[in-house]
Amino acid sequence: MFRNRVSFKSWSVFLMIILGFSCLSGCAGESGQSGKSLLIWHWMTDRQQAFDELAKRYEAAYGVKVNFDLYAPSDAYSQKVRAAAQGVNLPDVFGILAEKRDFAAFVEAGHILDLTYYMDENAGQWRNVFFAKALQINEFPAGNIYKVAPGIYGVPIDTMTIQLVYNKDLFRKMGLDPAKPPVTFSEFIGIAKKIKENNLQGLVSGWGEYWLIDCFANNYAFNLMGQDKVLATIKGQVPYTDPDWIKVLALFKDMRDSGLLYSGAIAMVNKDAEQAFANEKAVFAFNGSWCVNVYKEMNPKLNYGVMLPPKISDKYPVSIWGGAGSSFMVNARSAKKDEAVKFLKWLTAKEQQVYLSEATNNLPANKESLNTIPKILSAFAKNIDYTTHPNIWGVSEFPLVVEALDKGIQSIIIGEKTPEQVAQEVQRTKEKEIAKKR
């Protein structure tokens, strides 16, 4: 009996202790950190070392400890941030890996601080250090479709452009001048013959991932029909069965038929594609400026140049996706938001941006640091004026329509469907989504 009582009591005490600890640990979330410190979440594995070094410098200068917590891969990071948002448990500073509508949802839910005041103070001193295109991605203009209060909600820490790169040594091997990459699409297709004669492979990209196909197709949609018509299509005013869209889709058929595409490119993630280009198996690659660091690690001797996608029309300029590469947002609920803003101002100042650019081979967000960056990065930066990005268009296509377009392009590359069939399928999806929304 006594034993039973002791057992009952000790179990009760034990459970109480466990419950007590659980409650205490539950209460001590991310915001439980005390003292002069900042917590930053990010996904950029290649930048962790540089961030740690900058954190040390900042602590030495200002006495504030900055912890950069890395969560990789980016998919896992993205889920972590969403989960933390649902639990209102975000760190002082974080990045968002999502489309503009999700960005807007974060702002609407009160998770992100409006930085317009800080950007504009002292006659726009902070705002003026950035490339305008880089800042634009983090901006919600007045009257935006997401109904977010106009303002700047993120700080770009670097920029990027997605362009074509070509192997200069393989160009020479084919008897081509590396200083004169193809300018028109017909010149581009024409090189396919030489590529085959030399037993090489042509254009490689991670077209197993939809977004890179989407990006390539959009470049040519802008070039062929101009921004207004592309946006009109997204708004539902122009159908995807329009002849211009069919022409865009037919480009993929032309590339396939000419043998310009790398064999099996549509079953490749971008890392595989980067490996193929770095190993000099492909003459061209469609990739972002982050590739400079990747290629350097994979093959330091790789001799390559940067070029705009060869134009198909002279009516409109060629557009490429670009702008802010990675951005940081300040948690609007953080008790240390002023300190966080102060740190981000320091991080985006010229000296730190030059260091970041040199250490990680990424394009800086601060335009003043452009003169000091490596030559190949400058080549990527040269075309920043041609950049556009879905996040600045002010309208968003239905995700299922984007998916149908990208899957359709894969079908064209496989040879399963014609551009006309794909255009009709995409339009059907679009109409279905519009009807669903109604």
Partner 1 sequence: MKVKATLENYLFVLPAVAIFSVFYVIPFIWVFQLGMYEWNGISVSRVFVGLSNFKEILFGDPVWWQAMRQVGYITLFALTFQNALAFMLAMACDREIRLKNFYRVLFFIPPVLSEVVVGLVWKYIILNSDGLVNHGIATVGLTNFFNSWLSLPNQPFTGNWTSHTNTALTCVAIVHSWKGFGWGFLIFLAGLQGIPRELYEAAKVDGANSWDCFRKITLPLMVPVIVLVAILTILGTMQSFVLIISLIGGELAGHTTVPVLRILASMRGSSRFGYACAQGISFGVILVMISFIQYKFSQKFKQA
Residue numbers at the binding site for partner 1 (CB under 8 A): 4, 7-8, 11-12, 15, 75, 78, 82, 85-86, 98-99, 101-102, 105-106, 108-111, 206, 208-210, 263-269, 272, 399-400, 403, 407-408, 410-411, 414-416
As measured in angstroms, the least distance from the Cβ of 14 to partner 1 is: 10
- Alpha carbons 421 and 288: distance in angstroms, whole number: 30
Q: What is the 3-state secondary structure of 322-336?
A: EEECCEEEEECCCCC
| Pick 38 or 265: Cβ nearer partner 1 | 265
List 329's β-bridge partners, or say none: 94
As measured in angstroms, the least distance from the Cβ of 415 to partner 1 is: 4
- Alpha carbons 228 and 182: distance in angstroms, whole number: 27
| Pick 248 or 308: Cβ nearer partner 1 | 248
Crossing angle of helices 399-414 and 243-258, rounded to 10° = 40
Q: What is the DSSP string of 270-293?
A: HHHHHHHHHTT-EEEEEEETTHHH
- Alpha carbons 223 and 215: distance in angstroms, whole number: 13
H helix or E strand, kind and range, residue 388: strand 387-388
| Pick 11 or 117: Cβ nearer partner 1 | 11
| Pick 25 or 86: Cβ nearer partner 1 | 86
As measured in angstroms, the least distance from the Cβ of 96 to partner 1 is: 9
| Pick 180 or 271: Cβ nearer partner 1 | 271
| Pick 130 or 277: Cβ nearer partner 1 | 277
**Amino acid identity of 69?**
D
Q: Which tokens go with 5?
A: 């009582």
Nearest residue to 268 via CA among 286, 280, 250: 286
Q: Which tokens go with 49?
A: 């070392």
As measured in angstroms, the least distance from the Cβ of 369 to partner 1 is: 33
As measured in angstroms, the least distance from the Cβ of 60 to partner 1 is: 37
- Alpha carbons 121 and 153: distance in angstroms, whole number: 15
As measured in angstroms, the least distance from the Cβ of 95 to partner 1 is: 14
| Pick 185 or 207: Cβ nearer partner 1 | 207
As measured in angstroms, the least distance from the Cβ of 4 to partner 1 is: 7
| Pick 221 or 266: Cβ nearer partner 1 | 266
- Alpha carbons 437 and 415: distance in angstroms, whole number: 33
Whether 194 contacts 175, CB under 8 Å: yes
As measured in angstroms, the least distance from the Cβ of 406 to partner 1 is: 9
- Alpha carbons 385 and 119: distance in angstroms, whole number: 22
